[in-house]
Copies of this chain bind each other. A is one copy, B any other.
Amino acid sequence: MRKNIVIDTLMKRRSVRKFRKQIPDDETIETIVRAGQQAPFTSQLYSVIFGTEGDYGFGAPLWFLICIDAYKLERYMRLRHLEIEVDDLSLLLLGIQDASYLAENMVIAAESLGLGSCFLGEGSINPYRVRQLTRLLNLPPRVLPAIELVMGFPDEDRPIRPRYPLAFTLFENGYPELTDTEVIEAMSAMDGAGSEKQTQFAADPSHWTEHIVRKWCQWSPSQEDLLEALSERGFHVGKPTDESKFD
């Protein structure tokens, strides 16, 4: 494993779920978002909304909402009397990638400045939350609330969480046959570390695989409702492409 200050920062990052009240100053917030913007992108299909006055969860003083934003692109194309032709599912997948690259850079920039961060929700786009944030924040069409991220100065020191063994993640030249033994070993690696630490959050149990099993077995959102929420925001998925523009 090679080492340097950047890699140390990447490797030591973990979610923080208890924050001090102090609000990071404007320069810090702007630095974090500027560093986020410098991530690679397809079309900068995002906007970032922030707040420092709410109750954002985990006592965090700073909240970011990263939206997939095709509205700004369309505003500019209309000035040239043009319309987007790309289908809405591709646009969503491009947008969530742009948004995620930006978010990850923000997380790393924050870490380097002594701030902790935590993604909110299950990481998924939730129809109820989409509708709520659209209303609260007066979002224009073709802007989809996607990633919520809180930040602040940590008021706790959690252990770094394990990851799958590299052998279960990185494959050369093709996808291998995975034996049950290899699968079990990977899960053990996830469950073993940190099992001596007690945590008070359901989202962060000692046994990761237990948590994941519970999450993916019990969570049965309706795809239909998600498609409907996307459609309300102007992203038409699973429908003929000639309906895929808003006006």
Contact = CB atoms under 8 A, between A and B. Distances in A.
B42 A27 contact: no
Interface of A: 1-2, 4-7, 9-11, 13, 15, 27-31, 33-35, 37-44, 46-51, 53, 67, 72-73, 75-77, 79-80, 82-90, 92-94, 96-98, 100-101, 103-105, 107-109, 111-113, 119, 122-125, 136-140, 143, 147, 160, 163-164, 166, 168-175, 178, 180, 183-184, 186-187, 209, 212-213, 215-224, 226-227, 237-239, 241, 244
Contact of A212 (B15, B43, B125, B226): B43
A87 B31 CA distance: 37
A73 to B, nearest CB: 7
Copies of this protein chain in the complex = 2
Given A72-B186, A76-B186, 20 more contacts: A4-B113, A10-B35, A13-B38, A37-B166, A38-B160, A49-B172, A50-B172, A73-B212, A73-B216, A75-B183, A79-B180, A86-B220, A87-B220, A87-B223, A93-B124, A100-B101, A100-B104, A104-B104, A138-B174, A223-B238
Given A4-B113, A187-B76, A84 B216 contact: yes
